[in-house]
């Protein structure tokens, strides 16, 4: 004999994305690029190495750095918004 | 289907041949911390909600980094799953409210490789009313309130904040305290006032204090009978290179140790530990504990820190670096059974400054 039981779920609904993925660039020539580091030790230096590599392949117009003051600070959309308006591409990395 | 199930998404109806099959359904849905959970039926969740002062739609937790909210409904489902009783829900709600404090940066200890747990220290009359345990094996198994209040918080992190291992929870190793770490002080034996009174609350108020804690270190000393050699043992453990950081500390003195400190005030104990939990700068540089980190100046204190310079200079072996920034960074508590010289030191999450202590009053 079985019993019908209604079980509740604590998980939030999966949010619908506000917008689709950003438009992809055909080339980085002339692009302003954001380097987003995660605040970890040497995170910014690692991103600098990435941009140096990219500069050898494309004519990068500018670089904007963005990252939290410490790894414990998760970042803020208000900080990222002006950068998002300025740059054409962003590079981030996950690591420790 | 009742009001709660209609108002909130994700309810699943099913026919179950016995209680175990409902438990298995929760496993199948990924709604577990690895241990079996109590199937959260609508009646049980309604009873849990009634244990607190909140409506189902009230927000109990705001996690600002990912702009995520946890409602009383979601928390109450997790509390049922954890096996909590409805009368625990005011403590659970207050804990979630404390976790919302922006300075706690909840997202970081929830997701970090450091593998922190949310330590929950309950102080005030509600602790004994609910049976929150502060004596023998207070960090171990055996006590429903300790086990299920902390477990509820972990389930909220996993299910409502998506902090699932390997996905958003990137703990390198984690530790068993992530299942639950909730306790109170052994006030009957403590030479000091309960921690909430030390913070300025009245004796009849109750509070919860949270801390992003890494794994506890057992501090063993059965020989010392005077405060100085005893506290020196603690300071030595707190200054161990493996966990040395500018972060805060929680020290829970066993009653046997606390009795030997009875002539000292709590602040004198904090002062001693801060003064002696130190390493010389040369050793820290030699072991790469002072990282050449542009953010380091925000964490480590001292004129040398701002440079982030790891070169060892003459005199570095005479510059002493403290664990934490001040004696107030060391929370001193008393807990455990009457017998045994075993105390515990909990370092803070992270190699940096990391999350502060956050205290929230509990309202029934």
Which is it for the CA torsion B330, B333, B339, B345, positive or negative? Answer: negative
Separation of alpha carbons B334 and B184, rounded Å = 9
What the block records as the tokens of B31 is 């709604």
What the block records as the tokens of B329 is 């960074």
Separation of alpha carbons B325 and B301, rounded Å = 7
Region of residue B112 (phi > 0: left; psi between -120 and 50: alpha; otherwise: beta): beta
Strands A62-66 and A32-36: parallel
Instruction: Give pLDDT, residue B104.
Output: 93
Separation of alpha carbons B18 and B21, rounded Å = 6
Does residue B215 sit at the A interface (CB-CB below 8 Å)? no
- The helix/strand/coil state of B294 is coil
Please list every residue in chain B whose beta carbon sits closer than 8 Å to the beta carbon of residue A9.
8-12, 29, 31, 77
Residue B224: closest CA among B347, B343, B329:
B343
Residues of chain A where predicted confidence (pLDDT) is lower than 50: none
Instruction: Give pLDDT, residue B311.
Output: 86
Phi (first) and psi of residue B196, to 5 degrees: -70, -30
Cβ proximity of A33 and B40 under 8 Å: no
Dihedral angle over CA of B191, B196, B199, B203, nearest 10: -90
Please list every residue in chain B whose beta carbon sits closer than 8 Å to the beta carbon of residue A37.
none
Nearest to A70 among B4, B26, B298 (CB): B298
How many helices and strands (H and E) does chain B possess?
A: 14, 13
- If you measure CA to CA, which chain B residue comes closest to A11? B160
Predicted-complex ipTM score: 0.84
Instruction: Give pLDDT, residue B307.
Output: 54
Instruction: Give pLDDT, residue B290.
Output: 76
Instruction: Give pLDDT, residue A72.
Output: 60
Residues of chain B where predicted confidence (pLDDT) is lower than 70: 1-13, 291-298, 301-308
């Amino acid at each position: 004999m079985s019993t019908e039981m209604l079980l509740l779920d604590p998980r939030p609904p999966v949010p619908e994305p506000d917008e689709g993925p950003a438009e992809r660039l055909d080339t980085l020539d002339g692009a302003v690029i954001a380097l987003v580091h995660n605040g970890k030790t040497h995170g910014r230096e690692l991103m600098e190495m990435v941009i140096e590599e990219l500069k050898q392949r494309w004519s990068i117009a500018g670089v904007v750095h963005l990252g939290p003051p410490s790894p414990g600070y998760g970042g803020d959309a208000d900080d990222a918004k002006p950068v998002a308006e300025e740059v054409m591409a962003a590079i981030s990395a996950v690591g420790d | 289907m009742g009001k709660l199930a209609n108002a909130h998404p994700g309810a699943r109806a099913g026919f179950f041949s016995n209680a175990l099959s409902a438990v298995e359904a929760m496993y199948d849905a990924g709604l577990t911390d690895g241990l079996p959970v109590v199937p959260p039926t609508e009646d049980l969740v309604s009873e849990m909600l009634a244990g607190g002062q909140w409506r189902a739609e009230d927000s109990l937790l705001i996690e600002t980094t990912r702009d995520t909210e946890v409602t009383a409904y979601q928390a109450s489902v997790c509390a049922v799953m954890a096996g909590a009783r409805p009368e625990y829900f005011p403590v659970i709600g207050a804990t979630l409210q404390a976790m919302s404090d922006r300075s706690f940066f909840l997202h970081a200890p929830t997701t970090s490789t450091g593998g922190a747990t949310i330590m929950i220290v309950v102080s005030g009359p509600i602790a004994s009313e609910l049976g929150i345990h502060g004596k023998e094996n207070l960090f171990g198994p055996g006590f429903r309130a300790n086990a299920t209040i902390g477990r509820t918080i972990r389930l909220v992190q996993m299910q409502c904040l998506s902090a699932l291992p390997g996905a958003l929870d990137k703990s390198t190793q984690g530790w068993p305290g992530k299942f639950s770490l909730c306790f109170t002080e052994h006030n009957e034996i403590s030479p000091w006032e309960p921690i909430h009174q030390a913070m300025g609350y009245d004796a009849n108020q109750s509070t919860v204090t949270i801390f992003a804690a890494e794994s506890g270190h057992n501090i063993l000393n059965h020989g010392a009978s005077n405060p100085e050699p005893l506290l020196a043992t603690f300071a030595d453990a707190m200054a161990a290179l493996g966990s040395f950081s500018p972060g805060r500390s929680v020290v829970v003195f066993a009653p046997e140790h606390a009795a030997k400190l009875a002539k000292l005030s709590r602040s004198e104990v904090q002062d001693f530990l801060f003064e002696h939990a130190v390493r010389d700068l040369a050793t820290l540089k030699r072991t790469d504990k002072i990282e050449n980190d542009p953010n380091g100046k925000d964490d480590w204190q001292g004129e040398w820190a701002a440079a982030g310079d790891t070169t060892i200079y003459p005199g570095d072996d005479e510059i002493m670096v403290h664990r934490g920034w001040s004696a107030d960074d060391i929370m001193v508590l008393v807990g455990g059974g009457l017998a045994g010289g075993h105390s515990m030191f909990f370092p803070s999450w992270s190699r940096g400054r990391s999350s502060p202590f956050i205290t929230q009053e509990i309202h029934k």
